[in-house]
Every structure is written in C-alpha cells, then in structure tokens.
Amino acid sequence: MPGPTLLEEASRLCDCPAFYLAATLLETLEEHFWGPSSCQEARQCQSVPPANPAVTAGKTANRIDLIAAIPPTAYQRSVEELQRLVPPPSCLHSDPDWLDTDLSHLLTCKAVPDKWKCKFANFVSWHTHAQSALHRLEIFTDGSADGAQTAVPSGAPCAWAFSVWAVTADGRFLVGWAAHAAVPPDTPFSLGEIDDSAITSELLALGWAIIWTLEFGSRYPVPIVFCYDSTAAGHGIFGINFSFSAVSYNVLTMFDPSAAKGRASRNKQVGLMIQGKRDLIKQQLTKQGIWLAGFQETRLPESGQLPDGDFYMLNSAATESGSYGCALWIDLSKPFAFAQGAPCRASKENIVVTSYSPRHIQVQIDTPWIRLTVLVAHGPSVLRHEDQATEFWRQRQADLATRPEGSETILLVDANGRLGSIPTTAVGECAPEQENDAGAIFHCFLLELGCILPSTFPAWHVGQSWTWTAPGSDGVRHRIDYIGVPDTWADFHFSSWVWLAFESLQTRLDHYPVVLEMTFWRNLPGMRYTQAKRIAHRPTRDLETVQRSSFVQHLSAQPPATWEVGPDIHFAKFVDVLHAASDNLTASTPAAPKQPYLSPETLDLVQQRAALRRYLRDEDKERQRRLLLISFAAFLHMFRGSAFTAAAAAATASRWLADIDISVARAVSAIDYLTDCIRRAVRVDRTAYLQGLVQNLSLKEVLQPQRLFTAVRKAFPQAKSARRANLRPLPAIRGEDGNLVVDPAARNERWRAFFAEQEAGVIIPDGSYSAFFCQPDIQTHTSQITPSPSYEIFSGEKNRLTVTLFYTMPGLLRLYLLWLKPERLFLPGSSDLGQVILYLLHLHWHSQPKASWLHHVVLDLKAVAVYSPSAALVLQATCPVRAFIEALQTEPNWWKKQIHHAISGFAKDLCTWHHSKITATTTDEDPEPEPAQPVDLPFQCRWCSKTFALHKHVAVHEARRHGALSPARHYAYAPWSEDGASPPLAQGGCCGHPSQARGTQRHRRQGRVGHGGQEGDPLRHASSIPRHVLQKGLALSVWLSWP
C-alpha cells in the first residue's frame, strides 16, 4: 500500500516512539535466536553476509538478502530505469561541460554592430572569478525563425540559443553559452522538432537549457532561474503561474461602532449594522489585491453567506452569548493564476463548506487548476481552556484529514499561542518568542499536518512581527496570528508582513492583520493545456459602397502569403488580415441598461459620467507624474550641488501644477453636474415606467401577478421584504451519513442522488444512455399506481392503472379523458391522478413540445388570442403553458370566458363579411361578359360553368361570387345556418333537431346517418370531417361541449 514508511513517520513526529520500539524488538529477537556474540559480529561486519547458512555460537543463522530474494515491482523497475537515464551529478571542479565561452567570432563579425561588440568584449568569465560567493544561476533562452510577417522567407531552419550566468555580490559572470539550428528528425541531436516556426525555436532553447541543467546544474548548489521572453513556450513547459495573497485578521467584531448593543437587538437588520465596516474592509482588501481573507471573532448571529457583489462571504455564527464567529471572504473577480496568459478565477460552483463552528470554518475550493482546503480558525487560550485547546486542534486535524486527495491546505488562524523558541521545519527563528502551552499544542498540530508558518522565517518575513498588543501605552506585544501553507511549498516565493495601516474602525488597538503573498509555478493538469473560445467577428450586412470599397482596398494592399509556408501560418495571416480589414465595419453593440426603466437618453448621461471618471483617473496619474518630475529635478540639483533658476523653475512648476489642477477641477464639476442630471432623469424614467405598469395593471394582475411583482421590484431594486433573511445559507451539504461533504463533486453527487430518490430515477452511465432508450422492450420507466391514500382512484386488482411515460401520452390521454373533461386537469382541487397526469404532460411538453398534447393548448391559445387580449398576454410569457395553468387556477372560468369572447368576435366578423361580400346569387349575372374557359381545367364551380386549375381557386370563387362558405365554417359556435347564401338565422336548427346552435353543432359532430343537406351537396358528409382538420379559431367549441 502506498504511504509513508515507519522511519518517515518517526522522523516527522517528534514524540513518536514507534521506530525505537521496533529497533529494540529486532535487537532482542536477534540476540535471542543468534546470541550476543553473533549480533556483535554482525554489527561490525559491513558487507552482505553470504547466502549459505553459517553456524554461529552453536546455532544456525540464516541471513536473507532482501534485494536478491524479493523481486522488484514494476514501479521500482521504472524508477531504476529513470535513474539510469538521469546523468549522475558531478562536482564543481570536475570535467568541463559542453558550454562555450569563446566570443571571438562575434567580435570579428561585420554584421554585429559596434555597440554590441563593446558589450561582448566586457563580459567577464565565471571561470576566472570563481572565488566569489555564488548566489544563483540565471539561464537566458531565446529562439529565432522566419515570422509570419516576413515578406521574403530566408528558407533557413530555425535556431536556438541560451546562456548561463553566475550571479554574485560582485556582479554577473558568464558561465557559458550554446547555440545551434534545428536538425532533421531521427538525427543524434534531434529533440523531435518537425517545423521551423518561432515557437519551435523557443521550445528548443528551453529544452537544451533544461538538458544542461539536469546534467551539470548539480555542480552549483544554488537556485537556478530560467529567463525567457516567450510566455507560450514557458507556460507550456513550466505550467501555470500562481500568484495570490491571503490575510488573517482578528476583527473583534463585524458590527459598526454605532450598532446597537446586545444580541437581541443585533439579530434584526444585521446587514445594515455591518454595512459601513464591511465596505471599508472591502475597499482596502481590493486595493491590496487580496484573494483570500480570513476573519476571526466576527460575532455575527447567523451562519450563512453574506449578500455581496464583490466577495464571496462565508460566515459561521457566533455562540449564543455573541462570542467568536469566523468568516472567509473570497474575491471571485481576482485571478489567482495565469495559464497561457489567460486569467484563472474561482467560481461559486467550485466552493463548498466542509466544516464550521463558532471557532472555525473550513472551505474546499476545487478549480480546474488547483485544489485548496482553507481553514479559518480561532484557537482557544490554554490559560482558561487547556483541554479545549487540545481537543480543538485534534478535531481540526481530523477534519483536514477528510479533504480530497491532492488538495493543499492553507491556514488563516488566530492561534492564541506564541512560537519561535523551538525552531523546527514548521516554525522558524524570525523574532522568536518563548513558546507557551497554546503555542506548543499548535506547534504539534503543524508538524502532524505538515505545514509551515512563513511569518516565522527570516527569509520570508519583513518588518514588524507582533500582531497583538495589550491595552495601554506600554502594553505587552506578541505574535499570535499566522498564515500556514504546506511544507512542500518551502521552495516557493513568499513575502510575509504585518499590515500596520489597516483600518477597521476599532476603538482601541488590538490585532493587526498578517499578510502572505505567494508566487509559484505548477504544471498544468492533463487535458487542460488549451481552451478554445470562439470570438465572432461579424461585419454588418448592409454596407455602403464606400465601406465595401475600403474593405476591398485594405485586402488588396496586404501582401499575399507565399504558398511555401505551412497551412497554419497561412491561415493565421489570412485571419489577421480579415480582422484588420473588417474592424471598422463591425457594428458596436450598444450598452444595455441594467435597469429596464432607463431611457437611452439617461444611459447616454451615465456613459458621459463614466468617461469623465476615466478622464479624472488619467489626470490624477498625470499630476503624479509631474510631481515626480519636479521631485527628480530637485534631487538632481541636490546631487550636483546646483540650484533651480528662480524665475524659470518656479514658473514652469507652477504652470504644470496649475494646468492639471484646473483640468481636475473642471472634471469634478462636470461629474457633479451630470450626477444631478442623472438623478433627475432616473426619477422621470421611473415615473414613466410605473405609469406604464398602471396602464397594463388590469391584465397583469389577473393573469400574471408574479410578473407584475417582478416588474415593480425592478423599479425599486433597493426594496426588500421585511421577512427576508439578510444571510443566505452556507454552501454546505450533508451526505447520507450525516456529515458534510468534502468537495463540490460530492455535493453535486449528493444532489443528484437526492432528486433521483425523489423521482424514482435510474442511474444510467453516459456511454449507455442512447443504447438504453433504443431497447424496444424497455421496462425501466413503467410503474404501477396502486390504490393508496395519495392515488386512490380505482379499487380492485383489475382496475389498476399502468402509467408509462416513454412515448405513451396518446394512450394515457384516451384512458383519462373517458371520464374527466380536460379543463379539470388545470383546476385547483383536481384528483391525485389528474395532478400526476398533468405533471407527466408537462414533462412531455418540455421534452417534445411539437408532439406533446399541451402543444394543442398553445395552438388554441394562438387562435383565441386573435380576439382576446388576455390570451395574447398569456402567449407572451416565457412558458405559455405555465401561465395558462396559473390563470386557470386563479379564475377557473377564465378559459371559457376567453373562448366565448373569441367566438363572439368571430361571429361578428362573419356577419360583417356576410353583409359586405354576398352580393350575388346563383341567378346573378356577371357585370361583364365572361371570357371563354378552356375545357381542360379539372375543377369546376358547383353553381356556374367556370373551371379552375386548382381546388383552392374553386373555393375562393364560390365564396366571393356565390356566398358559399367553407365546410369548416358550419362548425362555428354561432347562430349560422347551413346555407351560406341565406341570411343568419337567430334560431339555428338542422334537420328537425332542436333550434339551438350548440345542439345543432353537437348533432353534426356525432356524424349520424340521417343527417345531410340537399342531394349532391358536398356538405352532406361534412359531419364525418375529423376534428383535427378544423380551423384554429373554429375548433374552440370542443372545449365547451366535450363528451
């Protein structure tokens, strides 16, 4: 099993007696079986004993060579192979390496400028000044190749070069250099180069520099620094550049100094009581570039996430008495690393709280680039809580032991302990203090966890070391606040200091924040070297002639790429030319207002003020630059012993500062003026916006009260409910065992399992998802709904209902609609089975909108919306079906009212059409003689001799000339007779049936044999027309008279 050995554990833990006990046990057993004399001879013998058994002191001693007896594992064999590949280290004065120190060819080359020849001649070799103390080695790499912009390629291969320099207190000395061109593949000195691009040359330079370092770098026991100018090549080799800062601070309280005293009064409106102090702390953290900020003693009454637009603020509640409380603030907008030049940031989805209490909060941050476990803790004081301090740090170690594999630990703690008198790998000798009991417990915690405190090492900490002072002018001062990092980061670059200028509105001086700046490199994880992001570059379609000519002229002016270059270079050059030519043709997207009620004029004022603020920042920089110039001139005069010319110097300096002050004053005055204008414009826009809401109030309050509420809230974003909590829940999820999950992946899995359990879901791997649904006899999503208190619909074994969701919606509806009208599905108080079917229908609507039954509801809404403004408003919703259901639940008869309203409107339009269009009958003569009709047209009018090429032309002719309506018109819910030529009948009637329009239509739909019109009339069989062929606006009566 992988893990530390007994020797490693014993050396890491100062109080671990395991190795001592094991050694004494082995010695005792050896003396017992072999005798004392044999053991003494064995200790004196340095060689491996023979494999044959030897008789010692009358007993047989079997010596086993473990190397020969136990075969090596595959991993051990790979390590041995790697060890043979790596060249053995050589001493400083061994044979020379393969670097060159001769610069004579550069000094005699005519192509080298004289100024560079002078510099080359002044290089001093390290081999002649090796007596100086060496600080570090610096290796400079560079590559050379024909670029994409080269007009005439040279055709030469790319080349590389690097030089090694020794840095001492006396200066920088040349160790040597190496340079060469790229070589063909499969040659002795090929590193696998396949082209002659610029990136290849940079990679070759870095590759050969690393080879020299592996072979000869061990001669110089100092750090080796690689210096390169190609970030693409460097990031690809050395990984991601991580650089971020963290701070730990005992804030004493997050409440403002003016906040009401007492826990009961502070439980109300917590956000307003911490607003001033929180904003001040945020401003300082942002200006300093802090990414992680840990606070102790926040004293907030609830655990949760503070609402904030800049930092992700996670807080653990104080005790019932109002003591303690910890918080971690994470600046999500600040990048903590750069991968290939792109910033790397954390998101809320990457963060989960894994443990918290009034004295600590532990947060797991899982990003694609690094995994961090951040612990903010407030250690107990041993003076009052000795047992509590031991248990507290033991529990913190147990919590950190559950962190995900590969996650690094960062500690932001107020340990209440002093350290330094006992230096170890975890604690250094910077400003040492006598270790107290709390410090000893914390020290053991650090050693067991494997963390170091950079503020205790003189190589990393600068300035004042103490972070706490007792009250009084001559109070006691100690260092009790620390930031801890893994001991594996010991080779990273740290900068630790105490933030003396930090302001937190405290009435007395107590704690100072400790800051740690970290910079290191880390290899990119697998499959994360590149991330393609497409940026569309689209010019506008309607270009003017001048713009088109400019575009063509710009393309013609660019030299074409030669076909000798590779396709990648050719494509890159072509794309750059296209982008440059179309930059002026791309329409800029206007900035959209964040508030919907702002008018474009108000937005213009806001943009003008933003431009003035940018101008003001630039002027402040210019003023600072001029002050620096004046100060530098004064410094030069002091150094040279001269003085300013009184008139010229005073006039120039005064004019410089006066001009910039006047410019700043004008900008400030313009900003104040625009601010007043914006405030007035916002009030006017808000009033107009609310007036528009009042005009549409009658429709919105009936159908969509939620949208009305949202619209009003947009006009008043600062308003909030009195019952709304100021804190949001912490991103902490408990697993099935009751413990908090340890990483975001476990959190997502817990949510998935929870909802799968609620929905009776089945886990299907990604690869087998398609195959699962391709099975013709799938049975997974079929469930029996048996009689129960929730779904007691039928009784008896024979009447059980089987509901299958997979493509069985039509059959399900037929079964359900036999005994329940469809409107009742949407009404409140419907049966349990109705609610289940409505839920399944909604799922079908989301998965397959066009094929779902609810799609017909949307089609009916569109038909009714022609005559009903309320139905038209429902169709404008994001989900018309949801809005339709909400309207029915608010007013059960709403849909019937809209149908009646639409049918009445349709009937009125039909009457208007009847009186305006029916001007001719079958006996009417055409006002003009009809032209002769060809005999080969297939379709002929029923009442005259006209023929037509298409059937639809016959229908239009019959409606316009003879007043004959379409057969579908006879199914309208209106007082209309079957004869389209006759005037509307108030009583209706059909073939002896009751003279009621609704009864007439029901009779026609039933398709009885005795029903029919005149002999030869095509309307005779109109009753057999399927319902789905009826027009949208005419099929609505089905809802009113469903069987």
Read off the pLDDT of residues 147-173 as tens digits, 9 standing for 90 and up: 656 666 677 889 999 999 999 988 899
SS3 433: strand
pLDDT surpassing 70 at residue 126 = yes
Q: State which H helix or E strand residue 709 sits in.
A: helix 705-715
**Six-digit token pair at 276?**
């001033």
pLDDT at res. 338: 86
Q: Which of helix, strand or coil describes residue 134?
A: strand
Q: Place 360 in a pLDDT band, splitting at 50, 70 and 90.
A: very high
Give the residue, 652 or 1034, on which the prediction is more confident. Answer: 652
Q: Is the pLDDT of residue 231 over 70?
A: yes
pLDDT tens by residue, 524-559: 554 443 444 556 666 777 778 888 888 888 888 888
Question: Strand 371-378 relative to strand 408-414: parallel, antiparallel, unpaired?
Answer: parallel
Q: Distance between CA 416 and CA 378 in Å, rounded?
A: 8
Is the pLDDT assigned to residue 248 strictly greater than 90? yes
pLDDT beyond 60 at 811: no
Percent of the chain with pLDDT over 90: 25
Instruction: Please state, rounded to an integer, the average pLDDT across all residues of the chain.
Output: 76
Residues 370-391 have a mean pLDDT of 88
Lowest-confidence region among 217-221, 593-597, 787-791, 987-991:
787-791
Of the ranges 221-225, 561-565, 821-825, which is most confident?
A: 221-225
pLDDT in tens, 87-122: 666 555 566 789 998 888 888 888 889 888 998 898
Mean pLDDT computed over 954-971: 73
Write the secondary structure of 262-326 as one string of H (helix), E (strand) and C (coil).
Answer: CHHHHCCCHHHHCHHHHHHHHHHHHHHCCCEEEEECCCCCCCEEECCCCEEEEECCCCCCCCCCE
pLDDT tens track for 394-433: 999 999 999 998 899 999 999 999 999 999 999 999 999 9
List, for residues 561-589, the tens digit of each pLDDT value: 777 777 777 787 788 888 888 777 766 66
Split at pLDDT 50, 70, 90, the class of 29 is confident
Of 456-460, 679-683, 706-710, 711-715, minimum mean pLDDT range = 711-715
Q: Residue 468: its pLDDT value, please?
A: 93
Indicate whether 601 pLDDT > 80.
Answer: yes
| Most confident stretch, 307-311, 804-808, 975-979 | 307-311
Residue 163 phi, psi dihedral angles, 5° rounding: -130, 145
pLDDT at 901 over 80: yes
- Residue with the bigger pLDDT between 10 and 967: it is 10
Write out pLDDT tens, residues 266-297.
Answer: 555 454 456 778 888 999 999 999 999 999 99
Out of 95-109, 257-271, 931-945, least confident range: 257-271
Angstrom distances, CA of residue 67 to CA of 2, 19, 678? 19, 22, 84
Range with top average pLDDT, 56-60, 706-710, 921-925:
706-710
pLDDT at residue 799, as a whole number: 30
Q: Is pLDDT of 661 > 70?
A: yes
Beta bridge partners of 330: 292, 312
Q: Is 387's pLDDT higher than 90?
A: no
| Degrees to nearest 5, angle at CA 753 with 749 and 759 | 145
8 Å CB contact between 464 and 454: no
301-310, 779-788, 926-935, 1003-1012: lowest mean pLDDT where?
A: 779-788
pLDDT at 637: 85
Q: Of 917, 913, 903, 912, which Cα lies nearest the Cα of 1032?
A: 903
How far apart CA 741 and CA 326 sit, in angstroms, is 20
Predicted confidence (pLDDT) at residue 322 exceeds the cutoff of 70: yes
pLDDT score recorded for residue 803: 33
Q: Name the residue with higher pLDDT: 645 or 1034.
A: 645
Comparison of pLDDT for 418 and 194, the residue scoring more: 418
In the predicted structure, residue 210 carries a pLDDT above the cut 90: yes
Question: Residues 1011, 1018: contact at Cβ < 8 Å?
Answer: no
Q: Which pLDDT does position 652 carry in this prediction?
A: 84
Q: How many CB atoms lie within 10 A of CB 209?
A: 25
Percent of the chain with pLDDT strictly greater than 70: 68
Closest by alpha carbon to 605, among 678, 682, 685?
678
**So what's the pLDDT on residue 876?**
84
User: How confident is the model over 851-869, as a mean pLDDT?
Assistant: 83
Confidence of residue 826 (pLDDT cuts 50, 70, 90): low
H or E segment to which residue 247 belongs:
strand 240-250
What is the SS3 string spanning 334-400? CCCEEECCEEECCCHHHEEEEEEECCEEEEEEECCCCEEEEEEEECCCCCCCHHHHHHHHHHHHHHH
Is residue 304 predicted with pLDDT exceeding 50? Answer: yes
Q: How confident is the model at residue 36 (pLDDT cuts 50, 70, 90)?
A: low
Q: What is the pLDDT of residues 975-1021, one digit of tens each?
A: 444 443 334 333 334 444 444 444 555 554 444 333 434 443 333 33
Least confident among 669-673, 870-874, 917-921, 943-947? 917-921
pLDDT mean over 773-798? 38
Cα 322–Cα 325–Cα 329 angle in degrees, nearest 5: 140
